């Protein structure tokens, strides 16, 4: 029988973390079956990482208000110029970085336009590659839609959002705006342009017709219906986005 292999704490840690390429999983597992000392060493490194995740997740909600980078859109009255003691303070003036004081002052004001701007800022980060790798089975997509529908109390089925001649449906996720759930459904056009349909429960019920606009340089259309507000956004083809909005405003 060969000499038992010795493992470093680093190798055992990589094994516990599932970094298999580094950890020689099979060798470790074979040794664990025979080596009591190794089992004790592994126990001493075993950790409830879910608890770490939970603890750190709680910290996120305690982060201060984010600086506002798009000051041309937001009334400056509730804000104060960011005064930094840091030596690059001059940059603050050039870049017009503002910080909101008074707990969410930046996000208040006209609530509905606010959420559309945030949706646009978020969508601006989407590239084709953000979504091109996403592939779901029909059953998974339907289950995901059911989950996000529940968050905004609005039934949305796969057939509601499918537009196979124009868009490939990719995924749905629940975001949050001022503590309210915001559902984002993401698509790629046949040309690979990311498009999003976003839905939030309106602060005041009421129906509003489809209107087209430009947000962050992208084509967008918005409307409200039956207690929910909607935005479709993506690319720079205003007519195309207008057509999508017309279809979705009928279906949803």
Shorter beta-carbon distance to other proteins: residue 22 or 134? 22
User: Does position 70 bind other proteins by CB under 8 A?
Assistant: yes
Cβ within 8 Å of residue 34, ≥6 positions away: 4
Instruction: Of 109, 128, 95, give the one whose Cα is nearest residue 178.
Output: 109
Shorter beta-carbon distance to other proteins: residue 41 or 166? 41
Shorter beta-carbon distance to other proteins: residue 84 or 138? 84
User: Does position 132 bind other proteins by CB under 8 A?
Assistant: no
User: Does position 134 bind other proteins by CB under 8 A?
Assistant: no
Q: How far is the CB of 98 from other proteins (least distance, A)?
A: 11
Interface residue with other proteins among 2, 6, 8, 77 (CB under 8 A) is 8
Stretch that binds other proteins, among 115-123, 138-146, 152-160, 219-227 (CB under 8 A): 115-123
User: Does position 99 bind other proteins by CB under 8 A?
Assistant: yes
Shorter beta-carbon distance to other proteins: residue 106 or 229? 106
User: Does position 5 bind other proteins by CB under 8 A?
Assistant: no
Using CB under 8 A, which residues numbered 167 to 226 contact other proteins? Answer: 216-217
Please report, as ranges, the residues that interact with other proteins according to CB under 8 A. 8-14, 16-17, 19, 22, 44-49, 51-64, 66-70, 82, 84-88, 91-92, 95, 97, 99, 118, 120-122, 124-125, 127, 129, 216-217
């Amino acid at each position: 029988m060969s000499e038992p292999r010795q493992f470093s704490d680093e190798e055992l840690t990589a094994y516990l973390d599932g970094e298999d390429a580094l950890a020689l999983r099979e060798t470790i597992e074979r040794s664990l079956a025979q080596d009591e000392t190794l089992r004790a060493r592994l126990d001493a490194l075993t950790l409830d990482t879910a608890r770490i995740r939970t603890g750190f997740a709680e910290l996120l909600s305690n982060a201060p208000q984010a600086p506002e980078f798009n000051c041309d859109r937001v009334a400056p009255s509730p804000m104060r110029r960011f005064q930094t003691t840091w030596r690059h303070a001059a940059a603050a003036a050039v870049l017009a970085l503002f910080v909101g004081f008074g707990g969410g002052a930046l996000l208040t004001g006209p609530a509905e336009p606010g959420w559309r701007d945030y949706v646009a800022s978020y969508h601006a980060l989407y590239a084709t590659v953000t979504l091109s790798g996403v592939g779901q089975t029909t059953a998974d997509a339907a289950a995901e839609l059911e989950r996000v529908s529940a968050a905004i109390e609005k039934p949305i089925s796969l057939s509601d959002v499918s537009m196979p001649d124009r868009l490939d449906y990719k995924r749905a996720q629940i975001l949050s705006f001022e503590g309210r759930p915001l559902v984002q459904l993401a698509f790629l056009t046949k040309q690979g342009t990311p498009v999003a349909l976003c839905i939030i429960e309106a602060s005041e019920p009421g129906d509003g017709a489809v209107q087209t606009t430009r947000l962050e340089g992208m084509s967008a259309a918005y409307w409200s219906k039956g207690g929910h507000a909607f935005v479709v956004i993506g690319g720079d083809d205003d007519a195309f986005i207008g057509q999508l909005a017309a279809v979705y405003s009928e279906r949803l």
